[in-house]
Amino acid sequence: MDITLKTPIEHDGKTVTALSLREADLGDMIEMESVKGGELVQFATLLSRISGLPVEAVRKIKARDLKTIQRDAGPLLGNDPEEAGETSPSS
């Protein structure tokens, strides 16, 4: 899944305008839970793993882009699509 950033980030001399995310696996989830810190620190670790960007780059993502990523990438993180903001055709 590709997610375009509203505000590109700079990392290692390059401009990142979109994230290409893969589905998280159990190893990603274990790594996320092993990181000390709050939920955002853990989410940054998970996002780093599923995007291939280092945590230092992920930490530069702006808040409104983070909200979009959390909403749109929910199914890749094992969340129910309805929890990720999607609705069923009958709703």
- Chain segment 34-91, per-residue pLDDT in tens: 999 999 999 999 999 999 999 999 999 999 999 999 999 888 887 766 544 444 444 4
**What's the pLDDT score for residue 81?**
61
- Chain segment 7-47, per-residue pLDDT in tens: 999 999 999 999 999 999 999 999 999 999 999 999 999 99
Q: Work out the angle at residue 34's Cα, subtended by the Cα atoms of residues 81 and 63, and round it to the nearest 5 degrees.
A: 50
More confident residue, 80 or 6: 6
Task: Give the number of other CB atoms < 10 A from CB of residue 41.
Answer: 13
CB 70 within 8 A of CB 50: no
**What's the pLDDT score for residue 74?**
87
**What's the pLDDT score for residue 87?**
46
